[in-house]
């Protein structure tokens, strides 16, 4: 799973470097708290996002849904400083080296992040089943070309944009 804070460059431009840096720290705290609650493992920080791993696709979907819920609650309290996060989930057996993950499963998940809007979760079909109870019904977006992959990847969206 990858998270990405939407338009962090624009936020930095608007608020200035010093003030803007508290937002990724808050982003990280929210996500790390949900990862602890849902059994996810932070692999690494990506600047304005986090790469995490889970034992199953349904666990990752549960974690991603909880992250989006946490940001909706946070944004309701701070509407003038709303943060929107895009999340994508891939699946597969990555290669682990020195605590980091590599390989085509990671590359796919990283590439999917370019396709998702803030407030949404994008899931590769391979990670979709089973969807946890209480999760919004996945919307099939169909096969999409993914840079570096020869065959299109079927993707699903869970949740609405920036809600």
| Residue 113, number of CB atoms within 10 A of its CB | 19
Q: Using the 8-state DSSP alphabet, how is residue 127 labeled?
A: G
Instruction: Give the pLDDT band of residue 130 (cuts 50, 70, 90).
Output: low
The two three-digit tokens of residue 62, written as one number: 């549960």
Cα 63 to Cα 39: distance, rounded to the nearest angstrom: 8
The two three-digit tokens of residue 19, written as one number: 């003030």
What's the mean pLDDT in 72-95?
85
pTM, to two decimals: 0.84
| Residue 104 scores a pLDDT above 70 | no
Check if the beta carbon of residue 149 is closer than 8 Å to that of residue 108: yes
What's the mean pLDDT in 117-142?
78
Cα 103 to Cα 101: distance, rounded to the nearest angstrom: 7
Q: Domain 2-158 falls in which CATH fold?
A: Alpha-Beta Plaits (3.30.70)
Helical spans, DSSP H, in 39-133: 57-77, 104-112
| Residue 162 scores a pLDDT above 50 | no
Check if the beta carbon of residue 135 is closer than 8 Å to that of residue 62: yes
Q: Using the 8-state DSSP alphabet, how is residue 136 labeled?
A: P
Share of the chain above pLDDT 70, in %: 89
Mean pLDDT, the chain, integer = 82
What's the mean pLDDT in 70-86?
91
pLDDT digits (tens, 9 = 90+) for 26-57: 889 999 999 999 999 998 887 788 989 898 88
| Residue 19 scores a pLDDT above 80 | no
């Amino acid at each position: 799973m990858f998270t990405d804070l939407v338009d962090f460059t624009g936020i930095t431009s608007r608020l200035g470097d010093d003030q803007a840096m508290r937002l990724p720290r808050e982003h990280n705290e929210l996500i790390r708290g949900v990862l602890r609650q849902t059994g996810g493992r932070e692999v690494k920080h990506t600047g304005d996002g986090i790469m995490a791993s889970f034992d199953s696709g349904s666990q990752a979907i549960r974690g991603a849904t909880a992250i989006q819920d946490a940001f909706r609650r946070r944004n309701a309290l701070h509407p003038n400083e709303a943060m929107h996060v895009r999340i994508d989930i891939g699946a597969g057996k990555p290669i682990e080296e020195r605590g980091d993950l590599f390989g085509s499963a990671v590359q796919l998940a990283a590439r999917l992040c370019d396709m998702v809007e803030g407030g949404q979760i994008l899931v590769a079909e391979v990670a979709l089943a089973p969807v946890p109870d209480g999760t919004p019904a996945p919307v099939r977006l169909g096969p999409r070309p993914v840079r570096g992959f020869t065959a299109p990847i079927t993707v699903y969206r869970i949740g609405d944009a920036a809600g």
